[in-house]
Each structure stands twice: as structure tokens, then as C-alpha cells.
């Protein structure tokens, strides 16, 4: 009985260390620190111009955050991401070739004096 239990413990430990049980390195928390609402947040592979998946269920208000979980079908560490402002008439912002495997949190910032939107990766 001890050997059966020990075998079970070893099997669970082995599976827990496998990629299918581990957290995806690309999963990221996005924090809106822009001062404005965001109505669209999308990620795609470099070279892909399709932006059909919105990671938001509504408007991401200033100070709010959202956790973006990638699925196993998605491949690679380097991604583009785009936001659309909740307020109409302002252009979307696009960042290209961001290595999400090196970032756990993206904090979005907007600088009014320079009219630039940036992110801080942590």
C-alpha cells in the first residue's frame, strides 16, 4: 500500500511540473492607468492584422485591471496588443512585438503634455 501511495505522489508531482498544469508564461494582468476608459483590448501574433477577440467584457475604467489568460492553442511569447478608447473620436493605440513571457503585468499610461500612450512592463 505504501508503494502504491508513493507512486501516486510521484505521478502527481510529475504532472504538476508539466506545461499543461503550469501557468502560461504569457498570461498577463493589464492595469489601466491612463486616466480614461478603454473599450477594447486585443492581442494577436506579429503579422496578424485580425483583432476579433476583445479581452474586456465592458469598459476598463481608469484604475481597473483585467487578467488576460492565453489558451494552449496560442503559440509564442511575442505578441502585439491594441487598445481602443471608450471615448469616441480618438485613435487606437498599438504596440508591436511585446515579449509577454518576460512580463506579468502591463500598466498602461497616458501623458497629456506629449499626447503619448505607453506601457510599463513588470
Locate the domains of the chain by residue range. 24-121
C-alpha cell at 54: 476583445
Q: Are 11 and 85 in contact, with CB atoms under 8 Å apart?
A: no
pLDDT surpassing 80 at residue 42:
yes
Q: Which residue has the higher pLDDT, 25 or 110?
A: 110
pLDDT surpassing 80 at residue 2:
no
Q: Under the phi-then-psi rule, with left for phi > 0, alpha for psi from -120 to 50, and beta for the rest, what region is 63? A: left
What does the pLDDT read at residue 47? 86
What does the pLDDT read at residue 110? 97
| Residue 52 pLDDT class (50, 70, 90 cuts) | confident
Q: Which CATH superfamily is domain 24-121 in?
A: Domain of unknown function DUF5300 (2.60.40.2890)
Mean pLDDT of 5-20: 44
Q: Are 101 and 116 in contact, with CB atoms under 8 Å apart?
A: no
Q: Are 98 and 108 in contact, with CB atoms under 8 Å apart?
A: no
Quick: pLDDT tens for 18-28: 444 445 789 99
What does the pLDDT read at residue 23? 58
**pTM, rounded to two decimals:** 0.79
d(CA 2, CA 31): 49
Quick: pLDDT tens for 94-103: 999 999 999 9
Amino acid at each position: 500500500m505504501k508503494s502504491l501511495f508513493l507512486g501516486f505522489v510521484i505521478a502527481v508531482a510529475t504532472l504538476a511540473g508539466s506545461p499543461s498544469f503550469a501557468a502560461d508564461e504569457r498570461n498577463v494582468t493589464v492595469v489601466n492607468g491612463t486616466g480614461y476608459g478603454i473599450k477594447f483590448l486585443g492581442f494577436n501574433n506579429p503579422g496578424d492584422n485580425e483583432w476579433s477577440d476583445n479581452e474586456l467584457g465592458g469598459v476598463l475604467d481608469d484604475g481597473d485591471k483585467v487578467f488576460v489568460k492565453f489558451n494552449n492553442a496560442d503559440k509564442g511569447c511575442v505578441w502585439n496588443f491594441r487598445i481602443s478608447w471608450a471615448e469616441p473620436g480618438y485613435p487606437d493605440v498599438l504596440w508591436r512585438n511585446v515579449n509577454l513571457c518576460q512580463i506579468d503585468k502591463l500598466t498602461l499610461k497616458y501623458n497629456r503634455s506629449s499626447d503619448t500612450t505607453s506601457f510599463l512592463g513588470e
